[in-house]
Amino acid sequence: MITGTPKPIEEILEMIEPYDNIIVAGCFGCVTVCRVGGDKEVQVLSSTLRLAREASGRKIEIKEICLERQCDPEYLEPMRPYVEDYQAVLSIACGAGIQFMAEKFMKTPLLPGINTGFLGVTERQGEWAERCQGCGDCVLHLTGGICPVTRCAKSIFHGPCGGSVNGTCEVAKDIKCGWQLIIDRLKSLDQMENYGKLKPYKGWDASRDGGPRRILREDMI
C-alpha cells in the first residue's frame, strides 16, 4: 500500500488560514488502511480544525467526505457539482490522489493534509516499512523475494557492501543489511545458484530516470 503520515496540525492550520469554508476529503484506499486518510481521520481532522479555528475567533465551515478512491476519475466526478462552492479542498489521500483531484478541479486550490511516504507493508499495528520502490524491472524471483533496490540502502545488485556488519547496514543500527537478508533467504530456499544469475547491470530505464512514468495497456483501452 501507499503509506503516509499526518502533517502537523500547525502546518495545516497555516495552509487553511485564508479560507472560511473548505472540503476535507479522505480516501477509502491505502490511506484508510495505514490510518492516515480514511473516514475516521477525516472526522478527527475536521473536528480538530473547527475547534482550533473557533478558539482563535474565526470559525471555519468544513464539508467532510471520503471517496472510494481519489486516484480514479469516476470517484472524483460526484464532487464536481459542489466543489466550487468551497474555497479549497484539504485532501488526506496520497500525493497521487491529491494531484489527480487538482487536475480535475482546476479552479479549486488543493491542499495536502498528509505527507505521502512509501510503498510498504504493515509489519504490526502502527508500524509500516518500505518494500518496493517501483523500479519497473522486478528481480524478486532471483533474490529470494527480497528486493535489493529497496532493502539495500545503496540499491546495489551484487552482494553486500563493506558497510554490512553482522547483518546490519552501516546507515543505521535498526536497518538490516538487505543483501544479508537475500543470502540468508536464498540459502534457506537452497537457491544460492540464483546469486550468480543476477544481471551484470541493472537497467534503470524502467525506473524514474525518464521522468514521470506511464503504463499503456492497449488490450484494456
Partner 1 sequence: MLPCTGRIDESLLLKAFENGADGVMVIGCLEGDCHYVNGNIRARSRVKRVYSILEQIRIGPDRIRMYNLSAGEGAKFAAFTNEFVSQIENLGPSPINVARKQAARESAQEVQAT
Q: Which residues bind partner 1 (CB under 8 A)?
A: 8-10, 40, 43-44, 47-48, 50-52, 54-57
Minimum CB–partner distance for residue 19 and partner 1 (Å): 17
Minimum CB–partner distance for residue 35 and partner 1 (Å): 11
- Cell numbers at residue 41, please? 481521520
Q: Which of 46/70 has CB closer to partner 1? A: 46
Q: Which of 17/54 has CB closer to partner 1? A: 54
Question: Closest Cα to residue 116, out of 200, 5, 1, 15?
Answer: 5
Minimum CB–partner distance for residue 61 and partner 1 (Å): 13
How big is the chain, counted in residues? Answer: 221
Minimum CB–partner distance for residue 190 and partner 1 (Å): 42
Q: Which of 10/218 has CB closer to partner 1? A: 10
- Contact predicate 156/201, CB 8 Å: no
Q: Measured between alpha carbons, how far is 103 from 34 in angstroms, rounded to an integer?
A: 25
What does 129-193 look like in DSSP terms, one character per residue? EEEE---SS--TTTTTT--HHHHSTT--SSS--TT-BTTB-TT-TTSB-HHHHHHHHHHHTT-GG
Q: Which of 36/177 has CB closer to partner 1? A: 36
Q: Which of 35/176 has CB closer to partner 1? A: 35
Minimum CB–partner distance for residue 97 and partner 1 (Å): 21
Which residue in the block uniquely carries the three cell numbers 554490512?
164
Q: Which of 57/162 has CB closer to partner 1? A: 57
Q: What is the DSSP letter of 168?
A: B
Order of strands, edge to edge, in the sheet holding 114-124? 2-6, 114-124, 127-132
Minimum CB–partner distance for residue 30 and partner 1 (Å): 20
Question: Closest Cα to residue 34, out of 101, 133, 114?
Answer: 114
Sequence letter at residue 13: L
Q: Measured between alpha carbons, how far is 122 from 174 in angstroms, rounded to an integer?
A: 17
